[in-house]
Structures are given as C-alpha cells and as structure tokens.
Amino acid sequence: MSAEDRQNLHAFRDYVVKTLDPTYILSYMAPWFKDDEVQHIQAEKNNKGTTEAASLFLKFLLELQEEGWFRGFLDALGHAGYSGLYEAIETWDFRKIESLEEYRLLLKRLQPEFKTTVNPKDILPEISGCLISQECEEIIQVCSNKGLMAGAEKMAECLLRSDKENWPKTLKLALEIEESQFSQLWIVDKDAKNVELKVLEDDEIETSDIQIFYKEEPECPNLSQNPSPPSASPTFTQLKPRNYQLELALPAKEGKNTIICAPTGCGKTFVSLLICEHHLKKFPQGQKGKVVFFAIQLPVYEQQKSVFSKYFEKLGYKVAGVSGATSEIVSVEEIVENNDIIILTPQILVNSLRKGTVPSLSVFTLMIFDECHNTGKHHPYNMIMFNYLDQKLGGSSDPLPQVIGLTASVGTGDAKNTTEAMEYICKLCASLDTSVIATVKDNLEELEEIVYKPQKFFRKVKLRTTDRFKCIISQLMRETESLAKKIFDELGTVTLENVFQIQNRNFGTQKYEQWILSVQKTCILFQLPDKEEESRICKALYLYTSHLRKYNDALIINEHARMKDALDYLKDFFANVRAAGFDEIEQNLTWRFEEKLRELESVSMDPGNENPKLQDLSFILQEEYHLNPESRTILFVKTRALVDALKKWIEENSELSFLKPGILTGRGKTNQNTGMTLPAQKCALDAFRTDGDNKILIATSVADEGIDIAQCNLVILYEYVGNVIRMIQTRGRGRARGSKCFLLTSNADVIEKEKINIYKEKMMNDSILRLQTWNEAVFKEKVLQIQIQEKLIRDSQGKVERVPDKENKKLLCRKCKGFACYTADIRVVEDCHYTVVGDDFRKCYVSKLHPKPKSFGYFEKTAKIFCSRENCSHDWGIHVKYKTFEIPVIKIESFVVEDIATGAQKLYAKWRDFLLEKIPFDAAEMSK
C-alpha cells in the first residue's frame, strides 16, 4: 500500500469505527495480528463495547508494516460482508456511508419504541441483507435466549452500524410488509416511493439469505493468465479464461447437456461461471434464465455461494442460497422465485419438489451438479433427475432445464474391462440426461502446465513383532464374551443359541465390529414372558456388547497409532461408565479392566513397543520438511478416533511438534464421536490455508471432494484407500508444483487395491476417449434406451405409498427395556423434531445440564435427558427451550418400538424410517 492509503485510512477512521465490528473480521486477519492483539480486541469489545474495540483494531492496523496488510484488510471486509465499507475504502469515497447519518440519528431517537413495537423475527428475513450474516445469527440467539425485546434492541444496534446504502428503505418495506406500528414512525426521504420497487427488486437476493458465512479461497483467481493487480477491486469479470477452460465450456455454451470431466485444481468452478454467464445473457429481452447450482457438502456450498455472489452480483444478477443450515430460517420458494442464480444443497430441492413449494424443474433453465459422479441409487442428485426424467419421458410439454455435471472422475463402478466401463459411464450419462463428455484434448499441454499430478509412492511397513497390549485386551474381550455367553446358558433357550457363533472371528477388525453390532441388535430385541427378567437380560447383554465394541475400537487404534492413545481411549470410556449408572455388571467389567491397568500402562510407555507405522510416518514428514520447510500436508485417515490419536502423537513428538496439526472431520455424529461444527471446519481450513502455524491437516473423507486447498504439496494416505474416484480426489488435494502422494500401510492388499485403482483410472480415460468417438445421435439414442429401461424398472417396482402407522405403540429404553412412552403422545416440532407431551413421560427421565448448550433456529439446547431407571442412565436425547416452552426432544435410535397388540419389537436408526403418524406440536396441549 502507499503512504497515501495509510494517511487516508487514518483520516477516515471515524467512519470505520462507527461501522466496523472488528470481531467479525479477526479470523481473516490472522496472518497480520498477534494472538495477544486479537485477545485484546475481543476483551475491549466485551468490556467497553464495539466502538472502542474498532478503535483499538484500527490502532493495531495502522501500526502494521508487513507487506500486503492493506489488501488483506480489504479482502477481510469483503469476506465478512462489509460491502459498503469495502467500496468506500477502495474508492476513498464515503459519501454513501455519510448519507446514512441522519437515519442513524433517527433510529437512535426511536430506539425505545423500536424495542417495544418491532418483532425482530418477523422482519429479519426481509432486512438480513442489510446486516452481516453473523449479526443475523446473533439476533436469532438473543431472541431465543433473552426474548423479543432484547432481540429488537440487538437488531437496532446492528442497523446503526450497517454500511448498506439501502438499509433505511429496506427497513421501511419490511415494517410495511409486517404491518408494524413502528412503520408510521420510520419516515424515509420523500422520493422513497419512487425507489421502493427497485429496492425490493435489487436486494431481494440478500433479504432472505441468512447463513453461517464460510469462506473458501476459490479456484478462480489462480487460474487467470493475467490476474487482477493487488490494488484492483476483486471482480471475477477481469479474469481471462484459459484455452482449456474454453474448450471444456464449449459444448455447454452450445446448449448441450454435458458432463465436464477434468482434474481437480483446473478451475471447473470458473468454467461453470463462464457457462452460467453465457446462459443468462443469451435470453432475449423480456425473458430470463434461472440457474441452480448443487453442492453436496456444506463447506463446498459456502465456498461456491461466495464465488458465484462475487462474480455475478457485479454483473447485476441476483444470487442466493439455501442449505440445511439455513432452510428453517428462509423460504426456499421466495429464494427460487426472486433470484437469478440459486446455490442449493440437493436435499433442499428434493424436499421442495415433494412438498410442492417448487412446482417443477421447469422453473429452472440450467442445473449444474457439482461432483456429479454421485448421481446414482438413492442419492439426492438421482432423486432430482428421476423427477426430470419422468417429466421428459412422460410427454410433458413444459421445457426442461439444461443439465451440466462437474467431476474429476466419472468412475468405473464394478467394471472389469473397457466395455463394462463404457456401459457404466453411459448409465451415468443417462442418469444426468447428457450425451456429451467434455474433457481437455486440444489444449492438454496447457492443462498439464497448470495441474500438477503428484508423484505416487507406496510404502509397505511391518507391524509390531510382539504386541502385549493386544494380548491383554484380547484376553479381556474373551472374558467379556464368556460372561455374555453364561447368560444364554442360564436361559437354556434356543432363541439366541447361534448368536455367539462366528467362524474366524478376529479381535481388532472391521469384521468383528460388524459382528458385534449384529449381536447387539439381536440382543436388544430379545423377548421373554417375564418383562422384568427381559429387562435384566437385555441390559446385561447391551453392556457386554458395548464394552466389546470399545475394546475392539481400542485395538484398531493400537494397530495404527500408539498403545498410549488406545489406552487413553479406554480410560475415557471407563470414566464415562463410572459417571453414569454403574451397576453391578459395569462394576465387574471396570474392575477387570483396572486389574490390568498397571500392566497396560507399563506396556504402553515402553519405547520398545513403538508402532513401526508411526516411525515410518515420522521419517516421511521429517524428510519432506527438511527438503521443503514450507510444505503443507494433508494426512488422510479412516476414523475420527485415529484423527485425534495422530494429532496427539504429533503434538507430543519433539521432532514433529513444529507442524502444529489441525484436524478436519465431518459434521455428523457417530457413536464414538461428535462431528465438527461448520465454524470449526472453517477455522481449521483457514488456519491451514493462510500460511498460519498449521503445517499439517489431519482429515477424514470430508476433505476428499471439492474443498480448495491450493497450497498443499504433500498428501499422505495412512491406511486410507477407496475406489478410483476417491483415489483421484485425494490425490488431487496435492495441487502445488512438485507435489507428492504417499500411501502408507502394513497391509499388502491395500497397496494392491490402490494399484487396481490406477489401472481403473486408465480404463476410465480409455473408455471416455472411445465414447467421444461415437456419433452424437448414436450416443443420444443409447442414453435414451437406458433411460426408458431404467424408468420401466422404477415403474414396475412402483412408488410404494408410505402409509403412516396410526396404531398406538410403546417406546422402550433400548438399554434396559423400561417403558418410556406411547407413540400416541409423540408430537412433531418444526417438521423434524420429536417431543412427548404429558406429565407421565417426565417421570421416566432425568436431565443433566448440557455440556455444550447451543441455540439453533427457535430452539435453545439446555440439557441432556437420560433414562431414570436405576443403574441405566441411557441417553434419550436433549431438553430444549422452544419459543416459550420447555420440552424434551427424543431420538428414536435410543428406543425399541413395541407393538402393543402382538408384542413384536423393532429398531429404527432414524425417525424417517419409522412410519409414525405425525401429529404436529400444538401449544394448546402444553397448557392442559
């Protein structure tokens, strides 16, 4: 930056201080601010307020001497959503922000009336575009935690700091729509009526889009031959596409349904931007196109939404998005109707088509499927395309949208030769109604200069020669199995005689995990005439099988990580056992474990028992960082438990601790672990991508697809192998020049499987080349015949009408089989949460404060609920504050469903699998 820019920033500091909440951009400024400065700014906001925090932030900012901080500051403003402030500083023209001063003064005077007369939840969807996305989230939380008046006060504070030129008029419109009394007090300038329609038109995109902001560095800026200079405004329209990108886009620009198959890192997102722009501009005056872009994973959805917004909003198009994280807050119908480009997670459209809120796919003129190789079986992509193909083959006269698929690999399925692979690819084309597969052929040399295919290395390592830890745990497992078997012997029944019989059962394997889950399911559904005896037996078997499963998990950790990590995993488990019911069986099992604990600790601390795999992994990392100290590594592993174990190992290893590992796992919850939240995923990626302290990212499969981490130059697959698609995706994470990819394993079969994947990749490429030689009419006819055949199969199977079961049933605790409630007392809240009404159910559970209380939508999670029967304490769900009501929310996987008439029992993993008659929650019932 120039001295003039620093001087200007100092001169205009009052505008910045009045507008900016620095805590919203601190994460983007991490490369320039020290940790103690960040903490100081956050403390200043907590203790003295936002304005003082902004002043302190600006003081630290103006003291910076490092190159690039000014551009970093501008980019941070853009990423956080401060578009008005960004524009003002970019041009050093603050007139638009200055023009808002009279409305700020007016709102300050009217703040008491605003607080008492405005319902913030009612107007938030309309004015959200005038606020920062985090402010919207905070307003919702304040409403839930402290009530509507506090929420209105928070909203007023946010509006007073808004840098959006249109916020006074947007607020006026929102108040009028909701017929708020405050509308009569809120008077905007006289010619407002002349622009109200324009405001609604231009800003509808923003007004309904409340989201958790997730920024990913898009592929696009790195792919231009003449990128924008540092001082230029960050607009994608300045980018010049490469020749290979134009080649990939050509069939789609000609209006053909196309699958674009090109390597990770080549800029397929930018290609999709080119296609969208061409598509939207081709319509004659009076007609408009409408594009929908699908992304499967939430981080990718956020990344693509940010990219599309930046590119198209400067061209005058309206962009918005809906994902599972925002679908309860915004109206999908309004988002689709009022925008030119809509970014969706695919299940949102599946649900909307089913409900009729989106009447048909004919509302769109172009559909783009990111990672389109997933279009198969019951994936949401396929559900959308079933709808499309039913419309196409059903003779509908309504126009269908153009279809574009993006992927790095179309895959080969189970194909064993090129002919079978061609058939598989044709079926994918039929599913997406495409007759063109676009790959780079004419500009291959240019592509290879941009996309670096990492060198692949295979490393076969030995297991420990002796494993005393495994011997001890295996003995504990045999003892636990014997205790469980004694219960069967006592019963003298044939019902479960074969349950414990399995050939070649090996502890510490995936096969044992599957077997124990099968045994546990059988035991849970075991029934006896004497219900008290049934409860005792089922609870005992549940405990034995749960302990066996944990021991098996520990052996898997021991095989791939340190004995210490496996032992810590078990110690945490037994600590939780002690904190829960801790009945006689659990006391006995805990005693057996603790009897071996001293020996286990001794074995785990013996340096002679170090895992050879970890020694080899350490060698690879030390060698690579010696050659290139600036290396960035992604270490792929199979399970979350292994992510945690390897993170601890690196942190405690004096030769590797400088890597400061970050972790990236999925958002879902498993029996063993709770997933990462979206903000946590964002922080992990930001720390890894911004040349921060994290030099290595330990990840599960969540980092396989779509997420752009351009700096990564080392990929290590630690006992991690999948199909050919996964191989291409994980290898593609290493995008920097001179990248390497290591597969590290003790299993020769894993290396053989990866070599098969390499062969399948060649087979896939050969198959695509052969298909591209086909006459397009012949290809189209082949695709049509597959579609007709698949539709016949679908129709013959019939659309089985899922009829709700209205019969009253019992819910029993899955652990102790104690009675919990009747299904007649279950009510559905907000379409997807299940509560139980009536005082009887309250007697069946106890609650404990939730370790991680949290608000989401209209819910505030306050406590966890557990079975109240003596020595059970099975987790049943959570206790929430919903609007003004305190209600339990139960999870079906914690219960057994028993038919009252027949006594038959069933297990369900998800509520959607249970055809329960859905009775909506009614506030009137709560007052009885």
Q: Which residues are annotated as a binding site for Zn(2+)?
A: 813, 816, 867, 872
What is the three-class DSSP state of 326? coil
> HSE on the CB side for 32, CA within 13 Å?
23
CB 665 within 8 A of CB 643: yes
**DSSP output for 893-910:** GGEEEEETTT--EEE-SS
Give the neighbor-by-neighbor strand order of the sheet with 885-890: 845-856, 859-867, 875-882, 885-890
Q: Hey, what are 276's tokens?
A: 């969208």
Radius of gyration of the chain (CA): 30
Q: Hey, what are 773's tokens?
A: 């030689």
Torsion, Cα 664 670 671 676, to 10 degrees, reads: 40
Can you say whether the dihedral through the CA atoms of 646, 647, 650, 652 is positive or negative?
negative
Q: Which candidate, 125, 104, 116, places its Cα nearest to that of 18?
A: 104
Question: In DSSP terms, which residues pair with 407 in a beta bridge?
Answer: 261
> Distance between alpha carbon 359 and the CA centroid of its chain, in Å?
27
Widest pairwise Cα distance in the chain: 90
Q: Which candidate, 688, 645, 691, places its Cα nearest to that of 664?
A: 688
CB 242 within 8 A of CB 450: yes
d(Cα 524, Cα 545) in Å, to the nearest integer?
10
CB 905 within 8 A of CB 916: no
d(Cα 17, Cα 212) in Å, to the nearest integer?
24
d(Cα 241, Cα 277) in Å, to the nearest integer?
13
**DSSP output for 554-573:** HHHHHHHS-HHHHHHHHHHH
Question: Which residue ranges are tagged as binding site?
Answer: 813, 816, 867, 872
Report how far apart, in Å, the C-alpha atoms of 326 and of each of 212, 300, 793, 856 are: 8, 15, 36, 10
H helices within 596-742, ranges in order? 597-605, 612-627, 640-652, 678-689, 724-731
Torsion, Cα 167 168 170 172, to 10 degrees, reads: 160
d(Cα 516, Cα 535) in Å, to the nearest integer?
20
Q: Which candidate, 823, 822, 830, places its Cα nearest to that of 923?
A: 830
What is the three-class DSSP state of 607? helix
CB 454 within 8 A of CB 729: no
DSSP 8-state code for residue 838: S
Q: What is the 3-state secondary structure (H, E, C) of 147-215?
A: CHHHHHHHHHHHHHCCCCCCHHHHHHHHHHHCCCHHHHCCCCCCCHHHHHHHHHHHHHHHHCCCCCCCC
What is the three-class DSSP state of 810? strand
| Beta-sheet pairing, 833-836 with 826-829 | antiparallel
CB 874 within 8 A of CB 895: no
Q: Hey, what are 91's tokens?
A: 């041009």
Give the end-to-end CA distance of the chain in Å, rounded to a whole number: 68
**φ, ψ at 239 (rounded to 5°):** -70, 140
d(Cα 594, Cα 590) in Å, to the nearest integer?
6
Per-residue burial over 888-901, b = 16 or more CB atoms within 10 Å of its CB, e = otherwise: bbbbbebbbbbeee
| Contacts for 109 with CB less than 8 Å, ≥ 6 apart | none
> Distance between alpha carbon 784 and the CA centroid of its chain, in Å?
35
